[in-house]
Amino acid sequence: MNSTINQLLQHRSIRKYKPEPVSAEQLRAIVEAAQKAPTSSNMQAYSVVAVTDPEVKRRIAHLAADQQYIEECPVFLLWCADLLRLKYASAPIEEVEIPGTAEIFIIATVDAALAAQNAVVAAESLGLGTVFIGGIRNNPQDISDLVGLPDLVYPVFGMCLGYPDQEPTQRPRLPLEAVLHRERYSTEAYPESIERYNRELNEWMLTRAGGTRDSNWSKEMAGRLKSRQRTHMRSFLENRGFKLE
């Protein structure tokens, strides 16, 4: 194993931060590293908004299900799929209408995700911690208004950034056999590997929750699939120019 793989294998989500600030140089290095992520056809169809204002972070935290660590982290990064910049890039050549297709929506969303993951790796290499915040999609219009996102830009997720003030245990992941398929997709390994993972995750949950959370992956996923979350997202995206045709 090399140092990069070892770092990736040690990843944990951090939800408690020291008050020590993230420097402008660190933030710049992290975003520059994010920019080196792969991007479809060099479109670079994403933007990131760095929020440090305590009041803005407080309001974001409230809109994202009152997640306190958004308030506590020194920097909150809002990762956005951004098609607007492409209009500006094309304007000197000709006025081009951004196609309202599912494909360009996927491109922009994936670009944002790839860049953000690069940022996580860069941040952890500097001794910083992160946690992704999908809760910003609970109230995407309010979040967009709060930070001035225009049409053709939507918030994909947020990310807390700062120096860790905790040492959480690492959440177990699925066995490799449940994820890695060779030559052809196969469900053959699923029953045994999911059963094994259920036992491992159950033990982790009981330890982490002081013995009060007796659950496993199958139970968690069944509950997740039964709940129709954030059904407002389609109309929100279409209103912002992501037509998903």
Q: Residue 77 is encoded by which pair of tokens?
A: 């990064």
Q: Residue 142 is encoded by which pair of tokens?
A: 């309010």
Q: Residue 84 is encoded by which pair of tokens?
A: 């607007």
96 and 139 within one domain = yes
161 and 196 within one domain = no
Residue 63's domain comprises: 3-168+230-239
Q: Residue 30 is encoded by which pair of tokens?
A: 């992290």
Residue 222 maps to a domain: no
pLDDT tens, residue by residue, 29-78: 999 999 999 999 999 999 999 999 999 999 999 999 999 999 999 999 99
- Block means of pLDDT (10 residues each) for the chain, length 245 residues? 93 97 98 98 98 98 97 98 96 90 96 98 98 98 98 98 96 97 98 98 86 89 92 94 86
CATH code, domain with 61 = 3.40.109.10
Residue 198 maps to a domain: yes
Question: How many other C-beta atoms are found inside a 10 Å radius of the C-beta of residue 240?
Answer: 20
Residue 38 maps to a domain: yes
188 and 121 within one domain = no
Give me the pLDDT at residue 85, please: 97
pTM (predicted TM-score): 0.95
How many residues in total does the chain contain?
A: 245
210 and 117 within one domain = no
199 and 131 within one domain = no
Q: Residue 9 is encoded by which pair of tokens?
A: 């294998």
Report how far residue 30's alpha carbon sits from residue 122's, in angstroms, rounded to the nearest whole number: 5
144 and 207 within one domain = no
Give me the pLDDT at residue 82, please: 98
- Based on the structure, what is the number of domains in the chain? 2
Give me the pLDDT at residue 81, please: 98
Q: Is 242 exposed, middle or buried (0-12, 13-18, 19+ CB in 10 A)?
A: buried
126 and 68 within one domain = yes
Residue 202 maps to a domain: yes
54 and 18 within one domain = yes
Please provide residue 131's backbone torsions phi and psi, each rounded to the nearest 5 degrees.
Answer: -150, 135
205 and 109 within one domain = no
111 and 190 within one domain = no
Give me the pLDDT at residue 209, please: 65
Give me the pLDDT at residue 77, please: 98
184 and 142 within one domain = no
Give me the pLDDT at residue 99, please: 87
Residue 145 maps to a domain: yes
157 and 41 within one domain = yes
Which DSSP symbol is given to 10?
Answer: T
Nearest 5°: CA angle at 82, between 80 and 84? 145
